[in-house]
Structure 1
Amino acid sequence: MDLPARVGARVRELREADGISLSELARRSGIGKGTLSELEGGRRNPTLETLYALTTALGVPLSTALTGLTAPATLSGDAVDAVLVERYEAPDAVSDTYRIRIRAGARQESTAHTAGTTEHLVVLSGTARVGTVREPALIGPGTHASWHADTPHLYEAPAEAVEAVLIVRHPR
């Protein structure tokens, strides 16, 4: 099964397990009902922003929609490409580790994730502006930043592309 079909089927499973209709998930996530229907049917390639909106509306980590894939999947958004490297489940939280690239000159503003979610980014190369929209940090190679991701936050590569490792911690 290809990525769009597998992820679409997983989103449908999660929605049905939560007992909500396609229309209700579309409303909660801000994703159009037609777009959601195409995604669940495997006819639309999921973007990073779309999957985050859907999984946040379902109250689950992004990695929940990606588990069971036979190979690491690259998800792309307006400015960020992300590959899930590991999902770690502890009694109190799920931590997802991603290898990300922020494209040169690009900026992505992300909506708030579920309450209590935090993000931690370590820059491998390039200089990134990341963190909450109100208080972003400018960080370079070998440095890191952490922020509360249950508020709007951003990723930006003001000049050259940024390579980084991102850990997203979702409380249970």
Structure 2
Amino acid sequence: MDVKSKIGIRIKELREQKNMSQKDLAYSADLDRSYIASVENGQRNISIVNIEKVSTALGVTLKEFFNNGKFDNNSTGS
């Protein structure tokens, strides 16, 4: 699995845990809903700046965002 897919899955997991819609997350992170959707689907390469916006909107630190088994290995699978 490539890193874009891993990040998208992680965002979706955290968003669903917070019972947020993509629209709610987009509004809170000051991003477009279609951008959030494409990131969650692994279709878009999200910048670290936008990862920080998303993690803040989800109420988690960057450390908490990446503290997940999906990011344990160094291989991105590109």
Shorter chain as normaliser: what TM range?
0.7 to 0.9
TM-score normalised per structure 2:
0.85
1:71 maps to 2:62? no
Matched residues in 2 for 1:5 and 1:40: separation? 7
SS in 2 for 1:42: coil
| SS of the residue 1:52 aligns to | helix
TM-score, normalised to structure 1's length?
0.40
Cα distance, 1:52–1:24 mapped onto 2, change above 3 Å: same
Equivalent residues in 2 for 1:89-128 (5 A)? Answer: none
**1:29-87 deviations in whole A, cap 9, x for unaligned?**
001111100100011112111100000001101123323211287xxxxxxxxxxxxxx
What is the aligned length?
73
Distance in 2 between the 1:45 and 1:64 partners? 20
- More helix as a share of residues: 2
Does 1 or 2 have the higher relative contact order (CA < 8 Å, sep 6+)? 2
2:55 maps to amino acid = T
What is the letter of the counterpart of residue 50 of structure 1? N
Structure-2 residue corresponding to 1:8? 8
In the alignment, structure 2 segments of 5+ residues that lack a partner are none
Quick one: percent identity of the two aligned structures?
30
Q: SS in structure 1 opposite 2:15? A: helix
1:50 aligns with 2:50: yes
SS in 2 for 1:31: coil
Shift of 1:26: 0.3
